[in-house]
Structure 1
Amino acid sequence: MVKKVAVEELPERLAFDLKLQIALRKNAISIQENSKHPQKFDEYIQERENKIRKMLDTKDEIVVTEHGKVIFSSSKMDNRLIQKG
């Protein structure tokens, strides 16, 4: 089952916190790709995803959109595409 979440439909504070965790995760992935020790980022990236899951209270697959654009997906394949885009 996939939980679809539109950021603009969330309470303002939750939307801000969610977008912050997504941005921190995306930034860590970008840095990880250029790091000599990429494995050092794995735990931090996983912590961000865990926080996102906790905020949305789900263990299901997650797709987060903002004005129709996907900004986060818990699917590893989708996240590679989002990260590059």
Structure 2
Amino acid sequence: MRCVSFAALFVPLVLSSPVFAWDGVDSNTGDSVEIGKGNLVRPGQNIEIYDWGSAEYRDVEVQSIQDSGGSVEVEVYDNESGEYRTFEMED
């Protein structure tokens, strides 16, 4: 019976585990950025990022993606600031 009670307590913890993000750095500012799980990172797609430098979520449009040997370079257009940004994401 104890196994059932333990399992009943354990299942909600597993289901509420944190969602993993794709970590990287803004090439211009050096600030950390995160692309949350569930974002389709493809040219032309709008995605949501978390910008640690400004401590806020931003909506950006993916312009290009390039493998740069050990990292992935993602160029985006920041819809809010009107600027192009380049992120070096972990490979």
TM-score bucket of the superposed structures, by smaller chain: under 0.3
Give the number of the structure whose residues are more often strand, by fraction.
2
TM norm structure 1: 0.25
Higher relative contact order (CA 8 A, sep 6+): 1
